[in-house]
């Protein structure tokens, strides 16, 4: 009996649970990623993961990923999590190789010289916007200002007169004598083909008078009609560059003092808005809304600006309001800041700075006017809502 008791053995089999397996696979995946990154970096330094690959990682993670992690502790979160695995796979690939499967440019960006200048990021996409049709700007050919085309000045003057004579109800609210918005144009000579007689080459859509400053006037007047005091500055930045013998890439160096002087001379200024024109063709820069044709509007935020978050918040709010009131008007919110690009756009001078691109080379005055009026309508709604909140907050503090 004693021998039998001594020979008895108790065998307990413990199977690893799903949580242990998941943790093990996660650790192994991390090891593989870092080993792969190390190999790529040692063999070809240009393949190393860039800082942009790590920027905004938390924003890219969908809610399913967090539910996937919670599932390890509570199986209630286990339903329909197939997308989480694919999201983690895409994210791991991006961290290891800087390749984004949703952005075909990431496959070529390091292989083609100068390709990084097109490294614009879509922060919020408008209707139909993807990485194949994002806003783009191109510098003018060196001869463009030497052989300036004749402009349709009579048509422009007629359009301006019609706009000024249009019946408009007086605004319900007003800033009074205060000029709270400053509008300027860094690329002053950007023009539109319908404004130039006989011109069909989009690269030649430049003019010293018939240019994007007309849109600045439209937008400024539209804001005034909404009770928002505005100043439109038409300093010819191109002329300043030519006088100093500087190239087009130095445009922001010349517009910067203009903005700084405006901020220093007017303590009431709350917003600075730089107005540009897109270089794409009409199919990408035009929207039909309730039977009317509009030049589409794009918002650009400087990734290198210290005020990026604050300015992005304003641009995103305006984009969402446009989507609500004028579906299809906004092409989206984009950020720029690749090596060799300005990436600041004077937006470090204030946390309420915007860069708006109105239409493309093919848009006409009527479409631009529609866009300016709509943009002013949306901006005024945001502005007066903010003023109301500030007023209520001030009253609360007094109490």
CA 159 to chain centre: 30
**Last residue of some domain: 80, 102, 124?**
102
Considering the domain architecture, whether residues 304 and 364 belong to the same structural domain is answered as yes
Most confident of 24-38, 71-85, 173-187: 173-187
Considering the domain architecture, whether residues 158 and 69 belong to the same structural domain is answered as no
pLDDT grade for 170, boundaries at 50, 70 and 90: confident
Q: What is the DSSP letter of 248?
A: G
Residue 108 forms part of a structural domain: no
Cα–Cα–Cα angle for 342, 345, 349, rounded to 5 degrees:
125
Considering the domain architecture, whether residues 51 and 195 belong to the same structural domain is answered as no
Own/partner pairs, 205-211, CB within 8 angstroms, 24+ separation: 205/277, 205/361, 206/140, 206/144, 206/145, 206/148, 207/148, 207/149, 207/151, 208/145, 208/148, 208/236, 208/238, 208/239, 209/151, 209/153, 210/151, 210/152, 210/153, 210/156, 211/185
CA 382 to CA 181: how far, in whole Å? 13
Considering the domain architecture, whether residues 390 and 290 belong to the same structural domain is answered as yes
Considering the domain architecture, whether residues 241 and 376 belong to the same structural domain is answered as yes
Considering the domain architecture, whether residues 353 and 220 belong to the same structural domain is answered as yes
Considering the domain architecture, whether residues 80 and 178 belong to the same structural domain is answered as no
Question: What mean pLDDT is predicted for residues 334-358?
Answer: 88
Question: What mean pLDDT is predicted for residues 328-345?
Answer: 85
Q: Rounded to the nearest 5°, which phi and psi values hold at 124? A: -140, 125
Residue range of the domain that includes 73: 18-102
Instruction: Provide the edge-to-edge strand list for the sheet that holds 353-358.
Output: 121-125, 330-336, 297-302, 353-358, 271-276, 181-184, 230-232
Number of domains present in the structure of the chain: 2
Say if CB 342 and CB 252 are below 8 A apart: yes
pLDDT grade for 128, boundaries at 50, 70 and 90: confident
Considering the domain architecture, whether residues 185 and 322 belong to the same structural domain is answered as yes
Question: What mean pLDDT is predicted for residues 356-376?
Answer: 97
Considering the domain architecture, whether residues 74 and 221 belong to the same structural domain is answered as no
**Last residue of some domain: 102, 120, 137?**
102
Closest by CA position to 275, among listed 222, 226, 202, 320: 222
* pTM for this prediction: 0.72
Considering the domain architecture, whether residues 244 and 343 belong to the same structural domain is answered as yes
User: What confidence tens digit (pLDDT) does each residue in 190-242 have?
Assistant: 999 999 988 899 988 999 889 999 999 999 999 999 999 999 999 999 999 99
Considering the domain architecture, whether residues 263 and 343 belong to the same structural domain is answered as yes
Handedness of CA 252, 253, 258, 261 (dihedral sign): positive
Q: Rounded to the nearest 5°, which phi and psi values hold at 273? A: -130, 120
Q: Please list, in sequence order, all residues whose beta carbon lies within 8 angstroms of the beta carbon of residue 174, skipping any fewer than 6 positions away.
A: 227, 228, 229
């Amino acid at each position: 009996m004693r021998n039998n008791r001594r020979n008895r053995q108790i065998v307990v089999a413990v199977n690893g649970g799903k949580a242990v397996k998941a943790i093990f696979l996660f650790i192994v995946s991390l090891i593989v990623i870092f080993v792969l990154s190390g190999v790529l970096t040692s063999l070809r330094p240009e393949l190393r993961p860039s800082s942009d690959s790590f920027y905004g990682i938390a924003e890219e993670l969908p809610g399913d990923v967090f539910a996937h992690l919670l599932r390890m502790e509570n199986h209630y979160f286990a339903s329909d999590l197939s997308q989480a695995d694919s999201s983690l796979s895409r994210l791991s690939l991006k961290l290891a190789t800087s390749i984004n499967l949703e952005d075909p440019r990431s496959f070529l960006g390091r292989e083609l010289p100068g390709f990084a200048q097109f490294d614009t990021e879509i922060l919020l996409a408008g209707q139909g916007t993807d990485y194949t049709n994002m806003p783009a700007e191109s510098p003018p050919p060196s001869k463009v200002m030497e052989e300036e085309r004749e402009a349709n000045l009579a048509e422009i003057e007629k359009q301006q007169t019609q706009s000024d004579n249009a019946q408009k109800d007086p605004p319900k609210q007003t800033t009074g004598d205060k000029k709270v918005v400053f509008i300027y144009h860094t690329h002053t000579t950007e023009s539109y083909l319908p404004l130039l007689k006989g011109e069909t080459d989009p690269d030649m859509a430049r003019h010293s008078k018939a240019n994007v400053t007309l849109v600045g006037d439209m937008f400024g007047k539209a804001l005034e009609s909404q009770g928002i005091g505005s100043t439109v500055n038409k300093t010819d930045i191109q002329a300043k560059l030519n006088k100093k013998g500087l190239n087009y890439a130095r445009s922001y160096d010349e517009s910067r003092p203009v903005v700084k002087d405006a901020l220093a001379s007017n303590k009431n200024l709350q917003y600075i808005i730089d107005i540009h024109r897109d270089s794409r063709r009409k199919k990408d820069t035009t929207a039909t809304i309730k039977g009317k044709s509009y030049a589409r509007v794009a918002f650009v935020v400087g990734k290198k600006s210290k005020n990026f978050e604050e300015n992005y918040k304003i641009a995103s709010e305006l984009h969402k309001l446009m989507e609500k009131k004028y579906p299809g008007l906004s092409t989206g919110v984009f950020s720029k800041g690749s090596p060799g690009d300005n990436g600041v756009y004077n937006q470090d001078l204030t946390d309420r700075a915007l860069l708006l691109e109105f239409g493309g080379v093919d848009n006409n005055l009527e479409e631009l006017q529609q866009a300016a009026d709509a943009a002013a309508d949306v901006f005024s709604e945001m502005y007066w809502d903010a003023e109301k909140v500030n007023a209520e907050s001030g009253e609360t503090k007094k109490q």
